[in-house]
Amino acid sequence: MKMFKKITYLIVLITNISFANITLPSVFSDHMVLQQNDDVKFWGWANPNEEVVIVPSWSDKNYKVKANNQAYWEIKISTPKAGGPFNIKITGYNEIVLNDVLIGEVWLCSGQSNMEMSAAWGIKNGVEEIKNANYSNIRFFNISKTSATSPQNDLKGNWQVCTSEVMKNSSAVAYFFGRRLQEDLKDVPIGLMVAAWGGTPAEIWMPENVIKENEILNNAANKLQPVEWGPTEPARAYNSMIHPFVGYNIAGALWYQGEANVGAVNYDKTLEALINSWRKKWEKDFPFYYVQIAPYNYGKDHFGGVEIRDAQRKVLENVSKAGMVVISDVSPTDDIHPKDKKPVGERLANLALVKHYKTYFDIVNGPLFNGITINNKSITVHFDNDEGLYFSDKKIALFEIAGENKIFHLAKVKLKNNIITLSSKEVKSPKYVRFAWGNTSISNLFNKANLPASSFTSE
């Protein structure tokens, strides 16, 4: 009987010990980057009421917290200015040491295939870029594709130092973004958290309740048809690829998506909802910069592609701290995966450097439609970022005007002193204007920064 009691005691002891170990979500690991000059959130699991002590090597302070009755704990830790490498010791009944931790700027990079696209897919100057891609102060956290019907508490991913091999198989847009940031931020460490899945609609990247509780979003989601390359149901990627690291401090988010939503009539509302939902989850109004999809032949007899581009433009009017880059000048119309990813990443970075970091002062946006003035038989079009307006090819007519009937006709264009005036013999009383209004229409209007104007309609 005594022997039985001893065996039972040992079994209970071993069981308790096995459940007592502190565990961390995969986002906390060697080589990670933490947001500088911030109170960053750490969390994990331990035995209920177990004390967890965190000691970062950049500080003399010990951070202590106890796991609750759900075996969960979280705590905020103050980070210094950019630097490293550091280590972080986390102790309870067991001990975890995170090594080679950098303090810098962390960005979430998400979307579909053009964000996912790596140098291994075949990008412009890919061989040379791969060879030169050894940057120890740039780190990738590449998140594996998974889906879930409910929010998850961990995910598949790991932090990696940017070497030629890592860069080769990571987001090219994110890489060029990070590299450009470092040029102006003087080698501040950059963390790039990449959650992307080719061919996926925006609806799978936001919480399900955001869609279900909004009639417009819900109707759009119900029209999505199943595809063989990924989920189309609301929240499936959000649950497994975003939610598990909500709260990991980030500087901002990058987004390159929209092709999978071609045909949607309210994509601006969808994208606005996604941005607002992420900010709400993070409890932070972080900057959100995105890429306008490129001109591409999505088929004849519809304007599905350019309608998405215009919807993306409209988001700028309704969302604070948002920015959009136009890439029609570096994208062919016969490839839905443009190979020249360097200017895409650099334009996103320039937005961040001007708007968020305020270390760069050049013009970083092309001409952006700002309204019209009707002058009897002509219309004057107003643009933001209109310094040095010029047409790259005056023979290509991309401006159209229409009257009350909304039947558009090519317009005669007069450009003088950065002011564009439009008229047409077919339109006696003009009321509406549109520009580059076609799925494959490539903008020929630029400003002095040699950046193209976005397509638009004033309807």
CATH code assigned at 187 = 3.40.50.1110
Mean pLDDT of the chain: 94
Give pLDDT tens digits for 322-356.
999 999 999 999 999 999 999 999 999 999 999 99
**Look-up: residue for tokens 């079994």?**
11
Q: Which two tokens stand for residue 297?
A: 């032949």
Pair (308, 376) in one structural domain: no
**Containing domain of residue 73, as a range?**
21-98
Pair (70, 199) in one structural domain: no
Q: How far is residue 180's CA from residue 189's CA, in Å, rounded to a whole number? A: 12
CB 304 within 8 A of CB 263: yes
Is 8 a member of any domain? no
Q: How far is residue 376's CA from residue 60's CA, in Å, rounded to a whole number? A: 73
| pLDDT score for 4 | 46
Give pLDDT tens digits for 410-457.
999 999 999 999 999 999 999 999 999 999 999 999 999 999 999 999
Proportion of the chain above pLDDT 70, given as a percent: 96
For residue 30, give the CATH number of its domain: 2.60.40.10
Give pLDDT tens digits for 195-220.
999 999 999 999 999 999 999 999 99
Pair (378, 269) in one structural domain: no
Dihedral sign computed on CA atoms, order 144, 285, 36, 118: positive
Is 11 a member of any domain? no
Pair (404, 294) in one structural domain: no
Q: How far is residue 115's CA from residue 102's CA, in Å, rounded to a whole number? A: 24
17 has pLDDT over 60? no
Dihedral sign computed on CA atoms, order 125, 130, 131, 133: positive
CB 270 within 8 A of CB 217: yes
Mean pLDDT of 145-170: 97
pLDDT band at residue 13 under the 50/70/90 scheme: very low
CB 301 within 8 A of CB 345: no
**Look-up: residue for tokens 């006709």?**
409
Mean pLDDT of 155-176: 97
5 has pLDDT over 70? no
Pair (188, 241) in one structural domain: yes
For residue 388, the tally of other CB atoms under 10 A from its CB is 13
Closest CA to 260 of 218, 309, 306, 199: 199
Pair (80, 200) in one structural domain: no
Give pLDDT tens digits for 79-93.
999 999 999 999 999
Q: How far is residue 233's CA from residue 423's CA, in Å, rounded to a whole number? A: 46
Mean pLDDT of 362-380: 95
| pLDDT score for 187 | 83
Give pLDDT tens digits for 21-60.
999 999 999 999 999 999 999 999 999 999 999 999 999 9
Q: What global pTM score does this model have?
A: 0.94
Which one of 334, 356, 378 terminates a domain? 356
Pair (288, 143) in one structural domain: yes
Which one of 329, 356, 383 terminates a domain? 356
Would you tell me the crossing angle of helices 267-282 and 215-222 to the nearest 10 degrees?
110
Pair (89, 179) in one structural domain: no
Give pLDDT tens digits for 108-118.
999 999 999 99
Instruction: Map residue 196 onto helix, strand or coil.
Output: strand
Mean pLDDT of 124-149: 97
Q: What pairing do the DSSP bridges indicate for beta strands 51-56 and 63-66?
A: antiparallel
Q: How far is residue 302's CA from residue 300's CA, in Å, rounded to a whole number? A: 6
| pLDDT score for 20 | 58
| pLDDT score for 301 | 76
